[in-house]
Amino acid sequence: MNAFAYVRPKDLDSALSLIRSTPKARFLAGGTNLLDLWKMGVEQPDTLIDINRLGLSQIAELPDGGGLSIGALARNSDVATHSLVTERYPVLSQALLAGASPQLRNAATVGGNLMQRTRCYYFYDPNFPCCNKRDPGSGCGALNGFNRIHAILGQSDQCIATNPSDMCVALAALEAKIHITGPSGERVIAIADFHRLPGEQPELDTTLRPDELITAVDLPAPADTKHNLYLKIRDRSSFAFALVSAAIVLGIGEGQITSARIALGGVAHKPWRVPEAEAMLQGVKPDRATFEKVADRLLQGAHAYRYNQYKIPLARNVVVRGLLAASA
Ligand code: SF4
């Protein structure tokens, strides 16, 4: 491990000023992803800016009545078990509890979870020379390599990695808003615009600028809490990333679907939503044949590689099974 400086700012302004003046610095919150990357030699910060004293760990109702504000430093385990989350946003609680291990959830923060790097064996191991995400222009080892966990949607010929977060899939279905602060003041990004597809710049996972910091995540007031579901398929029953997952948030009244949001995890560089597929559910009665058509629309354009062809039928089954369970 390289030598580094460790600083612990007392307020947001000091933290932002430090990151501006130290380009190779990294913010430290839970450290559950940063330390992995550092130990592997993918990250080599010269300064650690420990932001744990910034007081951003609230879980509180928004003054607008009904919504929820979650501080960027709230721990995953605290969010997952908070009564406002379990009662109003069960899909978020389920997704958080499906992720990692209890020890990691106790340390990991909401802001860190949003910033989790995409998972790919070739990215995490610098002994592999080809990775456009780690070393732009060096090629993509996964394209013709072992690509069992890789993307089937939204990928480019530069990168086929997937976002590994469970929480972010639920946030996508809940249409969360990410609050950010930086040198130009505060801004709010919809979760749909926070994570990027790889395109020609796979080294960028998000639209967050290097001198900005996430401060909070806002959730809109829930319309219906009974028909929320997070369904995750993985290689083993705990401490494993999703091969495919789905966060489903339905509104149902008088036997008909009144609103539908479906986000898929494990299939793309970001949580995957298709508004046209969700619109197919508007005003219809829950029914397997309709759900199969919705799954086909969600997966339209899917493209698999040598080792991840199983993901296309698996994702279709996850969508249909998830919709049947959520609407029951
Ligand atoms: Fe790197 Fe992305 Fe290719 Fe993996 S899929 S080797 S992260 S460029």
Q: Please give the distance, rounded to the nearest whole angstrom, from the Cα atom of residue 120 to the centre of ligand 1.
A: 6
Tell me, using a 6 A CB cutoff, whether residue 298 lines ligand 1. Answer: no
The Cα 225–Cα 313 span in angstroms is 29
Q: Which atom of ligand 1 is closest in space to residue 120's alpha carbon?
A: 4
Q: For the chain, state the CA radius of gyration.
A: 20
CA–centroid distance, residue 124 to ligand 1 (Å):
9
Tokens 């949001």, located at residue: 261
Provide the pLDDT confidence category of residue 321 given band limits of 50, 70 and 90. very high
Element containing residue 229 per DSSP (H, E): strand 228-233
Distance of CA 307 from the midpoint of ligand 1 (Å): 15
DSSP state for residue 43 in the 8-state scheme: -
Q: Which atom of ligand 1 is nearest to the CA of 161?
A: 5
72-87 residue pLDDT tens? 999 999 999 999 999 9
Q: Does the pLDDT value for residue 65 go beyond 80?
A: no
Q: Is the pLDDT of residue 171 over 80?
A: yes
Element containing residue 212 per DSSP (H, E):
none
Atom nearest to 134 CA in ligand 1: 1
- CB of 140 within 6 A of ligand 1: the answer is yes
- Residue 26 corresponds to which amino acid? R
Give the confidence band of 66 by pLDDT, cuts at 50, 70, 90: confident
For the chain, give the mean pLDDT.
97
Q: Return all residues near 255 (Cβ < 8 A) that are at least 6 apart.
A: 285
Bridge partners, residue 261, by sequence: 249
User: Ligand 1 pocket: which of 37, 133, 138 to mutate (most atoms <8 Å of CB)?
Assistant: 133
Domains contained in the chain, CATH given: 5-53 (3.30.43.10), 228-327 (3.30.390.50)
CB atoms under 10 Å from CB of 276, counted, come to 10
Residue 3 has pLDDT above 80, yes or no: yes
Question: Residue 146 pLDDT more than 90?
Answer: yes
Backbone torsions φ then ψ of 128, nearest 5 degrees: -85, 120
The residues near 76 (Cβ < 8 Å, ≥ 6 apart) are 96, 99, 100, 104, 105, 106, 108, 109, 110, 113, 167
Task: State if residue 114 touches ligand 1 by the CB under 6 angstroms criterion.
Answer: no
DSSP, collapsed to helix, strand or coil, labels residue 32 as: coil
Instruction: Kindly give the number of the ligand 1 atom that is closest to the alpha carbon of 145.
Output: 6
| pLDDT tens string 285-296 | 999 999 999 999
CA distances from 160 to 44, 104, 201, 310 (A): 24, 26, 12, 16
- Whether 291 is in the pocket of ligand 1, judged by its Cβ within 6 Å, is no
DSSP 84-143: HHHHH-HHHHHHHHTSS-HHHHHH-BHHHHHTPPPB-HHHH-TTS--BTTTSTTS-BTTT
For atom 4 of ligand 1, the residue with the nearest CA is 120
pLDDT band at 224 (very low <50, low <70, confident <90, very high): confident
The DSSP call for residue 222 is P
How far, in Å, CA of 233 to CA of 237, rounded? Answer: 9
Identify residue 86 by its one-letter amino acid code: T
For residue 144, the CA-to-ligand 1 centroid distance in Å is 11
